[in-house]
Amino acid sequence: MNHPKKHLMKRYIIITILTTGLIAQKYAPGNILIQSKTGVTMDELKIGLDLSQYQIVKPLMKRANIYLVKVMDRSLTTEVALKKISENPWIQNAQFDHYITQRQTFPNDPSFNSQWGMHNTGQSGGLEDADIDAPEAWSLSTGGVNAIGDDIVVAIVDGGCMLSHTDLNDNLWVNIDEIPGNNIDDDNDGYIDDVNGWNAFNSNGNVSSDGHGTHVAGIVGAEGNNGSMVAGVNWNVKLMIIEGSTGTTSIVLEAYGYALDQRVLYNETNGAEGAFVVSTNSSFGIDFADCTTGSYPLWDEAYTAMGEAGILSAAATINSNQNIDSIGDVPTGCTSDFLITVTNTTRNDQKASAGYGIESIDLGAPGSSILSTYSNGSTSSLSGTSMATPHVAGAIGFFHAIMTSGFSEFHKENPGEGTLILKNMILDGTDEIAALENITVSGGRLNLHNTAIMVSEFMASDSLDPNPVTNFNGDGSDGMTIHLNWENPVTLFGGDSIPNFENDLYRDGNLLESLSFIDSSYDDSLVLLGNSYEYTMITRLVDNDSLSVPVSILVELEGGECPIGDPNMDGLINVMDIIKTMQFILEWDEPTPDEFCAANVDFDNALTVSDLVLLSDIVMGN
């Protein structure tokens, strides 16, 4: 279930157009977005800022330490203010408050009354089965609740929603602990009157009606089998409405912060508070912006913070036939593993005029002439990546309803890892189509049924997949080698005795070695002092290649207190240290861990002539 990872560095074409007219600013003047370092409180941050120059307006994502700052010193341009505040030792990231635009869509013929994206029979000149196979998936579930009783919530981050729409109102998320309109934070979640969600434009709980957002919400979760209008990917689901799809980055981050807060509250209280948010839908962005330049760091931070809490975010790419790998895009050019990026496919399984990229864009979904609910109280047909993406966001919610109790429990205990497993299943389950081959990560279009089958069998009570290793630990304290140890599984997940297996050990995503079932330890000496490494162990059955869930740990090769360049340990660096190092290289003497550390002056974790030359230069004063 592995797919190519998006590279952290991508080529970006910068096109400068000189005109005699005014060029609009691409960010809000006087606003800066900052992320404080871990452990730095808001009060401490205020002390560390020059209040004559900066004022913290409000937190945007409290759990990710992200704040909106206003530049108070009028003598400072926003550019200079950003440079100065970036140098503050208590600040991890800082960026402009960029303007955001919704991924625009265009109304089509309102008489179009067939949801071809769900079930394509060739209607209106389409290609039969160029759809997500929804009816096939609905034979397994129609959404709503997972196997352990959690009400599944999808956050619609958009321009609002018609809350009174008769095909949506029964599926709206309601904060039952909040009393509407009393201007009191009744449930103490930090938000006043957040009954159905949040309005990040005005920082209040008043959710407005909006055609685009109503349309998106209907694709995710219009009530099905009720004899009215249309059916969503989920017939039953809870739709959390969050306004925040246009304006500036700070508005978007406040919107994401609300979804994150509700999910973390749910996690921390075992469901007593908050909401079981599993996905966000985002149909907006910054066209031609390169997320990897360092100018947009808080986008990846936001998606990763949500992902580690268990939220997989679906994002729409640009509505233009552009290679995102080359031109960049925010957010679909961002690199967080917890982001799934979507382009638009037509009723003939062709890519519409929309972004692509073999590194940036994960998959396609139906997005052209899509019929869904609308703010007129009825339905309308719209097109764009805005319509493609809620098919994926809705699918994420649907798959949680399909999950076995084993998978649901695993996801609950390991929300980050569980979210990444689900993302890979979504990509693995796509229908490969020629129009997306070699221009997207998966090469295919969303298939609800294919992935539902995989999800429904993963970690099932009768599963023939192996259990993972347990008590996986690492120790790099000797400064030379990272020592790994674990306990091997003895049964399959379903309880039967485990047959012949191997453990595949990965370091930073690359296969290190396949280890026999009799091995329970491994020493990795090809590591560098002071570096941290992620080790992942996957148990694999030899006969049929069935895999366990991955188990990962992070281990640092610690530097200790060894005196670099002084293997004699006498407090002096002189010719005697050169002789001592030569004895180690010639294997006339066996170094202790501290002696090895001191002699390894080139930090390559091997004693060679290179160490001898460098040590000689040190002794000679060069």
Describe the strand order of the beta sheet including 521-524 as a list of residue ranges: 470-475, 482-487, 521-524
Indicate the pairing of strand 532-541 with strand 551-556: antiparallel
Residue 386 parent element (H or E): helix 385-402
> Distance between CA atoms of 586 and 1, rounded to whole angstroms?
46
Structure tokens at 359: 């590194």
* Residues 337-349: tens digit of each pLDDT: 999 999 999 999 9
Structure tokens at 452: 């539902």
Give a three-class secondary structure readout of 104-144: CCCCCCCCCCCCCCCCCCCHHHCCCCCCCCHHHHHCCCCCC
Amino acid at site 96: F
Q: Which CATH number fits domain 470-556: 1.20.140.10, 3.20.20.70, 2.60.40.10, 2.60.120.10?
A: 2.60.40.10
- 3-state helix, strand, coil split of the chain in percent (to 5) is 25, 25, 50
Q: Are 33 and 68 in contact (CB under 8 A)?
A: yes
Domain 27-102 falls in which CATH fold? Alpha-Beta Plaits (3.30.70)
Architecture of domain 123-457: 3-Layer(aba) Sandwich (3.40)
- pLDDT computed for residue 218 by the predictor: 96
Residues in the chain: 622
Indicate the pairing of strand 431-432 with strand 444-445: antiparallel
- pLDDT computed for residue 9 by the predictor: 25
Question: What Å distances lie between residue 362 and 171, 389, 454, 598, CA to CA?
Answer: 28, 11, 18, 47
Residue 268 parent element (H or E): helix 249-268
Residue with the two structure tokens 């910068």: 14
Residue ranges, the chain, pLDDT below 70? 1-25, 103-113, 559-561, 622
Residue 485 parent element (H or E): strand 482-487
DSSP string, 14-53: ------SSPPPPSEEEEEEEEEEPTT--HHHHHHHS-TTT
145 by Cβ neighbours in 10 Å (0-12 / 13-18 / 19+) ranks as middle
- pLDDT computed for residue 559 by the predictor: 62
Residue with the two structure tokens 């899509």: 370
Radius of gyration of the chain (CA): 27
Q: Are 72 and 54 in contact (CB under 8 A)?
A: yes
> Distance between CA atoms of 511 and 99, rounded to whole angstroms?
42
- pLDDT computed for residue 12 by the predictor: 22
Reported for 176-180, long-range contacts at CB under 8 A and 24+ positions apart, including other chains, are 177/273, 178/205
> Distance between CA atoms of 172 and 515, rounded to whole angstroms?
50
Residue 381 parent element (H or E): strand 379-382
- pLDDT computed for residue 561 by the predictor: 62
DSSP string, 333-392: T---TTEEEEEEE-TTS-B-S--B-TTT--EEEE-SSEEEE-TTSSEEEE-SHHHHHHHH
> Distance between CA atoms of 393 and 219, rounded to whole angstroms?
9
φ and ψ of 232, to 5 deg: -85, 175
C-alpha angle 395-232-264 in degrees, rounded to nearest 5: 50
- pLDDT computed for residue 604 by the predictor: 81
φ and ψ of 303, to 5 deg: -65, -40
Q: Provide the residue ranges of all domains of the chain, joining segments of one domain with +.
A: 27-102, 123-457, 470-556, 575-619
